[in-house]
Structure formats: structure tokens, C-alpha cells
Amino acid sequence: MINKHNEAVQEPFRHSLGISVQWFDILYVEVEWRIKDSLQLCCERVKASKVPQVSPSTPVPCTPKSSSFPTTPSKYALSMPTSTSNLVASPHKPPLSSGSCVSILVQRCPACFAGTSFGKPLSDGGDIHIAMDGNFHHRHRQSAGTSPPFYDLAYFLSKHQVDAIGTHIEKQQKTPPKACKGLVPDEAIDSCESLYEATDGKKKKASMDNFDDTGLMALICRHDIPLFFANIDSPGEQQKYAVALLAHLFMLLPLQATVVGLFDVGCVLDRSISLYNILPEQVAA
């Protein structure tokens, strides 16, 4: 094989094939997203056509998804969670509310997020179960550098989003703590916080000399399906990673949805959420 100058090419596929594969992957993902957006738009139109018409005198229920923690624009905003009416409940249980999760969650685990009624009390198990944990075996070397952005992250939260949550937590922790009485005595939580490495946000669990990202924080559903990740780029498992994942999840759920969150140092995080306005009241309740 020769080039345009009639010279023999040593490795004709080394660069051209690699670049072609990269562009193929980019185009494949772009086509996939456009198909999903089109399908979602069609689904929304079908749902809208089935909604009964209401007279002007009938109040239209509205449940805006408001929050007090920092957020970033989401590419899933096309299909924000909906909630329209209350379902009939038994005399001893609160009524459930109809609604739906954002399509990206339904695609990742239909068993968890394809439901249409929400509001099950936590004493009865809640609507959704999730778990979070950090893993310090997945790292990114500083010497590898960063490539120009060419892909919209589907699973990973951006560094800006996580750092905004971290700044929010630091700001709230400077305010006077609220009076609260937890289920676990403070002495037991203090003991856990002093003995367990994951609770020390300043202790390095992995060397940061050669790595700019020293681990991953993952949020999974009860079926072990990964939902979202956050890169750990600071010493220890700081609370901002878990809170950022929780905040992002609640942005994609109906307002009435109840979530049971499992975390290996959940007692420490729960106390922080109870003492300070780290999460909105309707989320932390």
C-alpha cells in the first residue's frame, strides 16, 4: 500500500483505523440518543392524549420538582417525572400518588423504576431501594492526561456538579446545627466515625501522587444495576459524593417517591443530613 506520494506506507491502518473506530462510536452513540429522544417524545404525546380533559374551573394538579441544593441542567429534562392524581388507599395507609420516573431510570432497571404509583411509607419498605459505596481500585493516572470532550456522560456525574454539592455542604456546616435526636446515640456514631476509614474525609485511602482520580463512588439499585457514578478526586470518601448521587437521583424521581438508601457509613451521613440543611426537607424526611 502506498500514499499519495507513491511511497510505501509502513502501518496503513495504525492511525486511520483507530480514528475511524472512534468516530464510528461517536456517531453510534449520537444515533442511539436521537432514537431514544424520538421514542420518548412519542411516548409523551401518547400519554398526553390519554389525559382526561379538565374544565377551566377544575384545578390542575401541579408538583414542580423544586430543590435547594445545587444542580446542573440535565439532558433528561425532556421527560421529567410526572404526578397527576392520588390513588385510592386503605383507611390505615396514606394514599399513593400516580407518576412516572424519567425514562433513563426505566431503561436501566424497569423492575425498580417502571412503576406508576409512589408514596409508600418507609415503614412499609419505601418505593425504591438503592445502595452506595466507594471503590478505590479504579483509578486514573495523571500521566494519561485528558482528551478533548467528545461524549456526553451518561453514567458519570460531572466534576462541577459534585464540587458544587461539596461547596454547599461546607456552607451549611458553618451554620448552627439543628436540634435533633437520632435513633443511634451520638456516642456510637462518634465511635464509628473515629474507627472507620471511610468516614474520614481527609484520610487518603489511595495514593494521589500518580493519580488525579483515585476511585469511584457508585449508586446502584436493589438489583445490582449501576445507575450513576462519581469520580473520587479528593482524600477519603467525602460526603459530597454520596450526597451528589442522591441529589441527582431525586431530580429524576416523582416528588412523592420514597427511597431507602444503604451506605456503609450511613449513620454518619444521616446525622449530618439531620443537623444541617444538606438536602431539601422533602428529600431528607
* DSSP character at residue 246: H
The string of pLDDT tens digits covering residues 224-246 is 999 999 999 887 678 899 999 99
- Which residue, among 267, 225, 270, has the nearest Cα to 246 in the 3D structure? 270
The string of pLDDT tens digits covering residues 189-223 is 777 777 766 555 566 655 667 787 888 999 999 99
**Average pLDDT, integer, range 265-283:** 83
Q: How confident is the model at residue 50 (pLDDT cuts 50, 70, 90)?
A: confident
- For the entire predicted model, the pTM comes to 0.72
Task: Enumerate the β-bridge partners of residue 132.
Answer: 219, 263
Beta-carbon-side half-sphere exposure of residue 84 (alpha carbons within 13 Å)? 11
Whose cell is 449520537? That residue is: 30
Find the helix or strand (DSSP H, E) in which 104 lies. Answer: helix 103-108
> Hey, what's the cell of 177?
446545627
**d(C-alpha 26, C-alpha 20), whole Å:** 10
The percent of residues in the chain predicted with pLDDT above 70, rounded, is 75
**Average pLDDT, integer, range 157-185:** 88
**3-state SS, residue 44:** helix
The pLDDT score that the predictor gives to residue 7 is: 78
- Is 103 in contact with 110 (CB distance < 8 Å)? no
